[in-house]
Amino acid sequence: MASNLFSSGSGPSQRQLRVGELIRRTLSDVLARGDIHDPDLNRMSITVGEVRTSPDLRIATAFVLPLGGQGAEEALSALRRNRYELRRAVSKALTLKFSPEIRFQIDETFDRMDDTRRLFSQDAVRRDIEGATDDPDEDSD
């Protein structure tokens, strides 16, 4: 009963995280080896940054990005076109009760990091940050 308390609303469970990581590694290996019989997919180098699973482990969302970030839509299309073969390859490697449906999305983590870096490099933001760290006791009056 306590596990229900912690799994609802407080983020993914340990099992979800563990299964997501196993799927991520397996999917990465399958793509790196070129196990899928699609020349379009095999000529791309695709990074699987993260895999998030649903609480019942029936759906796995893989966040992917082609090397260099170029051709993201083409890579997404190739992955979606081969999703059944990828699902079969992943389920063969894992021992789960159900083979999860694998969905693919572009990993935008790197874009968000670049945007954050750009934001922090702006003069006004840098001045605000430096001002806040220069005199921490200023607001204590």
pLDDT over 70, % of the chain:
76
How far apart CA 120 and CA 141 sit, in angstroms, is 29
Of residues 53, 64, 61, 68, the one with CA closest to residue 106: 64
Average pLDDT, the chain: 81
User: What pLDDT score does 88 carry?
Assistant: 92
The amino acid present at 39, given as its one-letter code, is P
Q: Are 60 and 23 in contact (CB under 8 A)?
A: yes
Of residues 107, 68, 62, the one with CA closest to residue 86: 62
Lay out the sheet containing 59-66: strands in order across: 46-53, 59-66, 101-106
pLDDT tens for residues 70-106?
888 999 999 999 999 999 999 988 877 788 999 999 9
How far apart CA 137 and CA 141 sit, in angstroms, is 8
Domain boundaries 2-108, CATH class: alpha beta
List of residues 6+ apart from 52 with CB closer than 8 A: 12, 16, 20, 60, 61, 63
Listed by start position, the domains of the chain span 2-108
Residue ranges of the chain with pLDDT lower than 50?
1-7, 140-141
Q: Are 50 and 63 in contact (CB under 8 A)?
A: yes
